Structure 1
């Protein structure tokens, strides 16, 4: 068994090592903190060792080019706010290899304001300046641009979104580079859509990470029931457009169009889509439906069930489950309710696909939809852990558990002191809250938090001073 000092040296080496070859980029929809009961998901529910990058979703954009804080009370600590962003970035104090990104945009933000800003040099400059200042102030490692989608949705006459998007990324890249910030983007997936929005070889020059949203390929907007993110085309996909609506077609298009595979991340959904069948007898993919199906008790959106919601539903009710062998995804039905979803088997296949095609890794939408409590009879975060097992050969990128992470770099080894007495574990200095000790087998190891941080007994790690009772 390693001694504690040997373990510390090994952990320090991990922190200083190069970033893992594969990424696991995890979005958190921050509004999930308002969900009821067991669906409530806050920063304290995030395991910072299961993702290489955590993405805070979302901030908005003003027509002026200013950043828009959508939920100031939640996001900021000003005026008695909850300081969620501060807590989010404090997760890096537990896992020194973790990167955090700020996402701006999203589906609800629309496209109009992005189009207006991207079309105006002064507004672009203002946005870049505001982004850099916000990242610096709050301790993020980069920006994730979620414009959904250039040249589509709220398209403005006279604005060349496709070209302006390139200029926007180029100027963001120039503004972020001096600080070493990451620039990523969430992008549309299927060829008939992505070809409108993106000059793929050119945007790839400016992006560090390209998160391809290879989900919502099917849903209640279709004429018949189909699965959210099939790996391959199915028997019912007879038209050219339909044959583009699967993960394999999406990734092949992006690669053939010039995206570097090491920058391309396969986006996977941690949720399924529900339908109400036209008839209880028609329950195979391709059956007729009359619209959206049931909502989940936590997400409360008709037509959508997070994995945590559906796995609990399967425990309470008798659903019939099936496996679409060609498309390699599961489905389920009960009476006139029909669900196409993801499980550990289908996500393992998608992670293996990413490995086989030498992609940069997997992007996840989103953390709060995994079984983060482990309520369905197994481990917590079963979807995320199984993705990690494929990409890294273990259930997290570093192979280290939260319990054994050092809170700071050891300064020196000292003799047995009054701090430890007969105690094992962490003890804070009684005169200096930024100094603490680890007591083990009669020896005392001294640590010091970085400037501006204090040791927090609640997390056994260094934390922002105003979050620590000293």
Structure 2
């Protein structure tokens, strides 16, 4: 039999084209859904059973994607309800009340944490010792979790290879997670149910990381890891230091810890960043700034009743008692003082900063320790659970649609910031109608210094100098020659200015990292005309580089750089996170090579 083909390609009847197209679109939609699901940011919230400031019935079932109930223990390598001193019947009731939240939100996952600081390491070391002891634990975990309706387990072994744990526990923990993953899959297949989730809480301190974890293997075996990025500083420093700063210079910060885990092989999307709802307190010997000497931990709070430690509502109470709030701009966290008491803590502004950072940098989500220590009654700002809700808002919001306006505690005036240039209010009345309260006015004069001006960003004024000996020209909102600027000092206002000559404006709004204009360079003489004259714009983006922008002064464009990896956001005329900035390089702009003075030509758009 002879076969003849008119073409080397098989032919398909055109009747099937619409059907094939529909099938491909359907498959594409399913795959896109899977990708979106897999990349959704986790909002992991701990519920502590011993800190009864929050009832499970009062938890918003949609506030978190995962709730972890802490802590269970072990006896004879088997999971037990709570720990020896606990009321088991009461704990079982609490477990069921939390699990019941899944009826209101079927997507919610509820896990059980085993271990914790007080539990120590001996129980884990005994359980990890042999393959048989590990198998006993895993089988007991499956039975315990399935029997009560939990969706997984969080291993809080603090810490492998330390606090009495032998060095071999590092490898044995990896073995445990590998074996748990295998048996969890077998259980899932047998029972035709989703697999139990496997989570491990891990240290953010280099010594504990190096001694305790085979990072790459652990990351591979677990559904996700919770990085405990808090308590990174403490009384052992013998000086004040924030325990959970986003950035720092000494490897005791969120950014360093997260990046160190990634450098050792952790999968970014499996790394969940820990955020505390408590502060660490110190008793001062002298001074009140970062690095001031201390005599020991701070006084107990009225709720937590523990030295060196207070919950967020207790911080707010300190501020209402005439405490002073300070913002550490280069660390993106606040601290507060009252008398000889000093507390480093997180508030809606700092958790917003951290949430934006982890979202921008591709990490797997945030973990709140704990729901119970957030402002459960709304006494700080009038909003219940302000820290948890600030995290939820940032992690849920879509690109370019994040309204970043977290509340500030009442009775909490912010003093002169430390380590940065952002300003915020310490008085609500001394300088009425401060222009930042109207976000449309982005630039305004320093009433006491003609060589300086303020740039509003997210409601906060940033203090900046005029370049090249120019003076502020308020009518044009730019720096100009002295003879043209016609700038005068406002004596009436300056009488009410603090010693550093910065105005006391208005109740502060939180701000994102602000560009600090570290790079100034005037365009070369051969540059073509820029929009400084013909559009009236004072600030405009570099069409060839999203990390750069131009500032017009006396009709001359100055090339400036956004700091901290931010990008220019044209609609707001400030630097912002990339997913908010939505900046693209203009395809029509004739972007030239860099000139000898280190800038690109300014191109008329």
Per the normalisation by structure 1, the TM-score is: 0.73
SS in 2 for 1:345: helix
1:161 aligns with 2:169: yes
Number of residue pairs the alignment of both structures matches = 357
SS in 2 for 1:31: coil
Partners of 1:99 and 1:265 in 2: CA distance: 15
Kept in 2: contact 1:59–1:69 (CA 8 A): yes
Correspondence 1:50-449 to 2 at 5 A: 50-62=63-75, 64-70=76-82, 83-156=93-166, 160-177=168-185, 178-179=187-188, 180-234=195-249, 243-279=250-286, 282-315=287-320, 317-393=321-397
Higher Rg of the two aligned structures:
2
Kept in 1: contact 2:319–2:336 (CA 8 A): no
C-alpha deviation, 1:339, in angstroms: 0.7
Kept in 1: contact 2:99–2:149 (CA 8 A): yes
Partners of 1:273 and 1:74 in 2: CA distance: 26
Higher relative contact order (CA 8 A, sep 6+): 1
Q: Equivalent residue for 2:509?
A: none
Q: Equivalent residue for 1:426?
A: none
- Please list the CA deviations of residues 309-337 of structure 1 after superposition, one character each: whole Å capped at 9, or x if unmatched: 2113322x001111111111101111111
Q: 1:74 to 1:113 in 2, by over 3 A?
A: closer
C-alpha deviation, 1:291, in angstroms: 0.3
Kept in 2: contact 1:112–1:153 (CA 8 A): no
Q: 1:71 to 1:60 in 2, by over 3 A?
A: closer
Kept in 2: contact 1:188–1:194 (CA 8 A): yes
Q: 1:82 to 1:162 in 2, by over 3 A?
A: closer
Q: Equivalent residue for 1:445?
A: none
Partners of 1:390 and 1:182 in 2: CA distance: 25
Kept in 2: contact 1:373–1:380 (CA 8 A): yes
Q: 1:286 to 1:196 in 2, by over 3 A?
A: same
Partners of 1:301 and 1:47 in 2: CA distance: 28
Moved over 6 A (4+): 72-75
Kept in 1: contact 2:82–2:91 (CA 8 A): no
SS in 1 for 2:356: helix
SS in 2 for 1:308: helix
C-alpha deviation, 1:20, in angstroms: 6.7
Partners of 2:268 and 2:385 in 1: CA distance: 27
Partners of 1:75 and 1:42 in 2: CA distance: 16
Kept in 2: contact 1:74–1:83 (CA 8 A): no
Partners of 2:337 and 2:380 in 1: CA distance: 19
SS in 1 for 2:337: strand
Partners of 1:358 and 1:18 in 2: CA distance: 15
Partners of 2:85 and 2:389 in 1: CA distance: 32
Kept in 2: contact 1:277–1:288 (CA 8 A): yes
Q: Equivalent residue for 1:25?
A: 44
SS in 2 for 1:212: strand
In structure 1, stretches of 5+ residues that fail to align are 1-13, 34-39, 235-242, 395-470
SS in 1 for 2:50: helix
Partners of 2:220 and 2:253 in 1: CA distance: 26
Q: 1:20 to 1:203 in 2, by over 3 A?
A: closer
Partners of 1:91 and 1:19 in 2: CA distance: 23
SS in 1 for 2:237: coil
Bigger share in helix: 1
Partners of 1:142 and 1:97 in 2: CA distance: 14
Q: 1:162 to 1:224 in 2, by over 3 A?
A: same
C-alpha deviation, 1:19, in angstroms: 6.6
Per the normalisation by structure 2, the TM-score is: 0.57
CA RMSD of aligned residues (A): 2.0
Partners of 1:314 and 1:149 in 2: CA distance: 35
Q: Which moved more, 1:43-52 or 1:264-273?
A: 43-52
Q: 1:82 to 1:258 in 2, by over 3 A?
A: closer
Partners of 1:250 and 1:82 in 2: CA distance: 35
1:48 aligns with 2:61: yes
C-alpha deviation, 1:340, in angstroms: 0.7
Q: 1:192 to 1:247 in 2, by over 3 A?
A: same
Partners of 2:91 and 2:319 in 1: CA distance: 38
In structure 2, stretches of 5+ residues that fail to align are 1-32, 189-194, 399-605
Kept in 2: contact 1:74–1:84 (CA 8 A): no
C-alpha deviation, 1:66, in angstroms: 1.4
Kept in 1: contact 2:73–2:119 (CA 8 A): yes
C-alpha deviation, 1:72, in angstroms: 8.7
